[in-house]
């Protein structure tokens, strides 16, 4: 699983998402333990990030020329969802213990760290958006890998394993 960390060219976005987040391709609510409310909103946001990342990765691996409008659209989705991240983790009982949530209490006990990691993701998404006009496929792969590493780091730090989930 960690091979992509050493070489962005061999990185597989789908493997990253499945391995680091546990997301499934099942319908959204079912794929996240019957989540509702803010927990479901978080899950849907992660799905949108995943789909944008998958599309960008497919574009980077394709033999066809990059489609700049599509690339820009997916970059905007990543930025929008990244900016929403902080508000999707309010310090409420439903957010902490809602059905389907695997969020660790560390999000709230180490909020400053969580917010800094969120800021890093936002900056990576902004950087991707600014680069869409002239990005090359190798650079796009590198940027996607950086975003994937950011997601992976946050999930490792702030997400409970399925065994420990509520």
Q: What is the DSSP string of 117-143?
A: HHHHHHHHHHHHHHHTTT--HHHHHHH
Cα(20)–Cα(153) distance, integer angstroms: 9
CB 37 within 8 A of CB 97: no
Question: 132 pLDDT exceeds 70?
Answer: yes
Q: What is the pLDDT of residues 53-100, one digit of tens each?
A: 999 999 999 999 999 999 999 999 999 999 999 999 999 988 888 888
pTM attached to this predicted model: 0.77
Tokens of 153: 């780091």
Q: What mean pLDDT value characterizes the chain?
A: 83
- The per-residue pLDDT for 97 is 83
What are the residues facing 159 on neighbouring strands?
103
Query: CA-CA distances (angstroms) from residue 51 to 13, 17, 44, 81, 113?
Result: 10, 10, 10, 12, 26
């Amino acid at each position: 699983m960690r091979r992509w960390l050493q070489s962005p060219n061999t990185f597989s976005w789908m493997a990253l998402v499945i391995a680091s987040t546990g997301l499934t391709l099942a319908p959204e609510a079912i794929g996240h333990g019957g989540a509702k409310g803010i927990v479901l909103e978080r899950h849907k946001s992660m799905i949108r990030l995943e789909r944008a990342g998958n599309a960008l990765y497919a574009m980077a691996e394709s033999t066809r020329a990059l489609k700049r409008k599509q690339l820009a659209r997916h970059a905007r989705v990543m930025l929008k969802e990244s900016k929403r991240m902080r508000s999707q983790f309010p310090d409420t009982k439903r957010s902490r213990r809602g059905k389907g949530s695997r969020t660790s209490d560390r999000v709230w006990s180490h909020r400053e760290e969580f917010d800094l990691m969120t800021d890093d993701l936002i900056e990576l998404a902004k950087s991707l958006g600014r680069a869409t006009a002239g990005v090359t496929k190798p650079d796009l792969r590198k940027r996607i890998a950086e975003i994937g590493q950011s997601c992976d780091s946050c999930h490792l730090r702030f997400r409970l394993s399925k065994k420990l989930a509520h």
